Structure 1
């Protein structure tokens, strides 16, 4: 190999100076020599990293902060090939000595692609010198619509600047923009890491990338291929380490594969390739319209905003009628025709409203709230406030406010303040720590019998920074006088929980005369500025005389979800059984947890069309739902799936009657999760699929454990059944002959299929009437309705009554059989039972799984 010639060709390539002849020469060298390909891989990867830091030109100082070290200056005086040798030498130490900023690694000649154990960016050093990189903002999450985060507690917030980090979510759309202007729209399920403002690494997801001139050279890495922008817009479909697609919308991209056969390729507007597990390229038809775009996310944002506003409107009545609600300001316009109308008055809509509890507006201007058409008050000046009175002493109190901060420009920013200077008076505000005046913390205080004491002054950590300014937040405090505990929340997340250290005295709160967004004390407060006005907007404020649980707070925050409480009875339709008194409404996600003694029973009526129902939703949580009658419908959102046992939870659903119509059903999803669905009566319809490959019924996926058992009623699906996907264990049980039908793929235009993975079990119990068979329907006739038994898939057969001799068809299908090793489970008596695949229609191919017993 002529290394000098290769270096020259690589220089031309990186400077976009190749003509047709030199391009052909470079391709021939790369195809002929593994060493040349390895050299090419290192050089292009290094070039991409150098571009990120504005060091594309060889003549630039490698240290942008000052003069280059003597050693580097000497090297730069030599020829370019020596510079390349030196650069490649240190590149290995930079790339492979644990530079945590990049977080993932690739390997020449293979498909290694992993996230670092620590997903957070870190400061790195080489040879003990000063840090090469430190935590910097590299991107911002511009939009997130209908997103189901894998870990909601650590998920980024919209508008929040991000350091290099990993982003994972199951459903929805997000839009990310890097500091160089590259715009990424990503659709779930997705697993992506923002490495820098010039690089992302995607393990899974459908995405589109729009690259403006400042981000020229933007790099997208996947397990199978690297894509380098050359001034383009392009789209990708990444499916882990199995397949990937690249579609060019505009301009030009360069593809780099680590395989020996296809190291480099240019792709232009209107062209597309698929990349298989071997890394080889295959031309495919371009289909850019099916990928997420900025227009898609804008459209879905408008729909989501309208849906959120409608959900809020629907829930106002439930809030106002809550027996514990003392005060409810919704800031909506009062009818001018109403008696006593004044535009400077906010009505208290609580059913328990008392005289004087309406709010008097002082100085504030009306403005827009969280959604178009929603009103809010704008607090700007030191005189702006809302005055009202709620008399009484309260052992427990919960207050929730929807606010948009404009600034934290004072030591204290008032939220809710009492001005009576008597025992039990409350003060709730945002304070600035002396160590950092740019960040605020929630602070709640209670006036004691002898004045203000630190024992009843409760602080959160500094959590409200400039990135929250201009965005809507829900702030809440909960005072539980019985236990002397004060809890504070931001957007439904607990940020502080403190116990009172006061050893004596009453623990009640006294309300009386109150101010929202300001404070005018009726006494001197030594050592502190009196001016504490709120700067920003408020569009909702609620006060309850009971202590909300964390689930109540979350239910109040999450407008699109309803959370089972079960404290009143087991009736689904009773509002008191739901957190914050909010019953499930159209398009809601419904969560059923609470244990055996607090199970939910759906027995009559027709539910609103929900997004999904989740039973047993989190580690340590157990949920139980009985469906005995009526119609439970959860098909509203096409990408939401009903789940029984998820995120480590345990869920049980028993259906003995009624109708359940769901998008799709996942049982026992992910590690430590267990789920059971028992169908003994009624009808269960699964009208969509989790995905084209997973089907409508997904039992025991992703290292979970799930059981679906049918002993009566009817099951019908649109797509197929998957047992034990991705290391889980799925069990499908048919008990006897009482079930009306088991039809897989019989709804709509989809084909049914059956995929049974190693260790998963198809269990059949024969009764005196025989066995209800499973039918796999082929609707399209295009290579669908296949039945696949992987090596180690298990068949468990037996009797549910006295043993009888005979043969029974367990399953029948209209497509192909792919049997890689179906076998009997260990406890099957091989002296009694046998099974075979039978051709019943003389087509020459097996279409039936039949078991035979000879007791």
Structure 2
């Protein structure tokens, strides 16, 4: 009998050659049964020597008979067999098969888990434009993905782009339900639709029948007493209840009542893309002018510590502080950021993209109450913490205003006087559907109510109790980034990925009405 070996490679080779001794078979079984660190690597080495396909095929037989999982090598009459018990080798074979089956299960499970954890969306369209919209249903900002459900407008104009390519311009008052990326239902409103070849078959159902587009432009007026369908270009199919399909071609129109009276198509009665562009530009000019009118009123607020409007000249590389009563708060210093367009044409913003991008500022003092306000556009949440406004370091009552990787708006307050630090979070607000949209954020520290309150676009999204009351500390700070005050050679990467076109900091609690006014200027 040859000398026993405890080297796994040697044992595996001898097993495959049917040359294991009794002692070596026991050693191989013992090595594979180990549970301490390193055993997993031994199992992987075993699998490298065994054919994965063969192992999987053999593992299917595990339910019937353990010895059949890995058939023993064929007997060679001219070669003396090693003397060891069949039960020992069968145990080795069974354990090897279980390892293969187990690792295969782990790989499949990991793949399934990756698929399950992957972000998904049920959106079918996007609100491309919005002009003077007043909503009856939940409001949507331009750029918002739209999921199946009702859009109800009191007035205004909404341009909806379906994921399959159709574009619908809807005028209020309207009731319009998204069904899928190629289908909708309209019970009220006036709309015009452009359906390119890629979206052929786009369908709009109404209480008076269905319209199937064959790649064309058409208008639908459900606010008319008789309801009217106008074909501007191409061809559509009208499927009225109880009636045969009726084709309509360019220049034709028809009422959708029982009479089905023929009409002449009139494109002038419906909003065109050019009209949408004109009305959008006019709405943006009005919003910008309104913001300019309101700005001096905010600048004169006695509690205002900082107001950066981002309308500074690019060659200065600084942001002027417009707070008239805060002469002790100097201008912010721009580091790395590039200038970009803000909420409207003519409105400037800073884009934060690289690890170096930031605005350095200093706000002396300690305050029992604060309100932070900013207009931002998030491009992505690539880091665990994405800075909006953060005091250097994190101690002695310093505040950190940031967005977490999970999309939560967070106000962290460092502990002081023996009191612990605490984070005050919202539920996840920033999903991929919100990326690229201008949104207004505000956070209030209210010592009277003992709350931290968070707002998005003027709406309260979270109220978090304050466990320990003490004045918060400001000081050296940064917009869009963070510095730990030189305490380490390497600093955690927490820069913001997005744009900002207004930042305000108050030493008091702004009311819900005031925050709504800040959020409505858009």
TM-score normalised by length of structure 2: 0.73
- 1:760-795, Cα deviation, whole Å (9 max, x unpaired): xxxxxxxxxxxxxxxxxxxxxxxxxxxxxxxxxxxx
- Determine the structure 2 residue equivalent to 1:290: 269
Q: Confirm or deny that 1:484 pairs with 2:450.
A: yes
CA spacing shift, 1:288–1:473, aligned 2, 3 Å: same
Q: Supply the distance in 2 between the matched residues of 1:354 and 1:135 (Cα, whole angstroms).
A: 48
Q: Distance in 1 between matches of 2:480 and 2:419?
A: 21
| 506, 512, 531: which one aligns with 2:493 | 531
Cα drift, residue 468 of structure 1: 2.1
Tell me the equivalent position of 1:169.
153
Which consecutive unaligned segments of at least 5 residues does structure 2 have?
A: 1-119
Are 1:244 and 1:274, in contact at CA under 8 Å, matched by a contact in 2? Answer: yes
Corresponding residue number in structure 2 for 1:374: 347
**In the TM superposition, what whole-angstrom CA distance separates every residue of 1:730-785 from its partner, at most 9, and x where no partner exists?**
xxxxxxxxxxxxxxxxxxxxxxxxxxxxxxxxxxxxxxxxxxxxxxxxxxxxxxxx
How far the C-alpha of 1:529 sits from its partner, in A, is: 6.9
Rate the CA distance shift 1:462–1:539 in 2: closer, same or farther, 3 A.
same
- Give the secondary structure class of the aligned counterpart of 2:264: coil
The answer on 1:141 being equivalent to 2:127 is: yes
Q: Structure 1 residues 383, 135: CA separation in 2 closer, same or farther (over 3 Å shift)?
A: closer
Deviations 1:251-299 (A, max 9, x none): 111112114xx443221111111122xx330112321111122222111
Return the structure number with greater relative CO, CA threshold 8 A, min gap 6. 2
Matches of 2:428 and 2:121 in 1, distance apart?
A: 19
- For residues 335 and 141 of structure 2, the distance between their equivalents in structure 1, rounded to whole angstroms, comes to 33
Q: Does the CA contact (< 8 Å) of 2:480 and 2:495 recur in 1? A: yes
Q: Distance in 2 between matches of 1:360 and 1:453?
A: 32
Question: Aligned partners of 1:368 and 1:255: how far apart in 2?
Answer: 45
- The residue aligned with 2:221 is 237
**Matched residue, 1:256:** 239
Counterpart secondary structure, 1:281: coil
Q: How far apart are the structure 2 equivalents of 1:517 and 1:554?
A: 24
| Counterpart for residue 574 of structure 1 | none
Alpha-carbon separation, structure 2, partners of 1:198 and 1:275 = 22
Which residue, out of 164, 175, 178, partners 1:180?
164
Give 1:135 deviation, angstroms: 6.9
1:572-603 CA distance string (max 9 Å, x none):
xxxxxxxxxxxxxxxxxxxxxxxxxxxxxxxx
- Distance in 2 (CA, whole Å) between partners of 1:495 and 1:452 is 27
Instruction: Report the 3-state secondary structure (helix = DSSP H, G, I; strand = E; otherwise coil) of the residue aligned with 1:371.
Output: coil
Larger-gyration structure (1/2): 2
Q: Paired residue for 2:478, among 508, 512, 515?
A: 515
Name the residue aligned to 2:374: 401
Q: Quick one: distance in 2 between partners of 1:135 and 1:512?
A: 42
Measured in 2, the distance between the counterparts of 1:379 and 1:534 equals 6
The reply on whether 1:474 has 2:440 as its aligned counterpart is yes
Whether the 8 Å CA contact 1:484–1:507 is kept in 2: the answer is: no
Q: 1:223 deviation in Å?
A: 0.9
1:421 Cα deviation (Å)?
Answer: 4.4
- Unaligned stretches of 5+ residues in structure 1: 1-133, 337-341, 434-439, 561-855
Q: Secondary structure at the match of 2:305?
A: strand
Q: Which of these residues, 182, 203, 208, is aligned with residue 187 of structure 2?
A: 203
**Structure 1 residues 373 and 452, CA, compared in 2 at 3 Å: closer, same or farther?**
farther
Within the alignment, does 1:447 sit opposite 2:414 as a pair? yes
What does 1:4-23 align with in structure 2 at a 5 Å threshold? none
Answer whether contact 2:371 2:507 (CA < 8 A) is retained: yes
How many angstroms apart in 2 are the aligned matches of 1:379 and 1:218? 40
Instruction: Report the secondary structure of 1:317's partner residue.
Output: helix
Give the aligned partner of residue 513 of structure 2. Answer: 551
Contact (CA 8 Å) 2:312, 2:320: kept in 1 or not? no
- Report the CA distance between 1:488 and its aligned residue: 1.0
Please name the residue that 1:746 is paired with.
none
> Which protein has the bigger helix share?
2
What displacement does 1:424 show? 2.2
In angstroms, what is the RMSD of aligned CA positions?
2.3
SS at match of 1:460: strand
Inter-partner Cα distance in structure 1 for 2:145 and 2:312: 35
Deviation at 1:158, TM superposition (A): 2.1
User: Could you tell me which residue of structure 2 aligns to residue 222 of structure 1?
Assistant: 206
How far apart, CA to CA, are the structure 1 residues paired with 2:418 and 2:280?
A: 50
What is the number of residues matched between the two proteins? 403
Name the TM-score, length of structure 1 as normaliser. 0.45
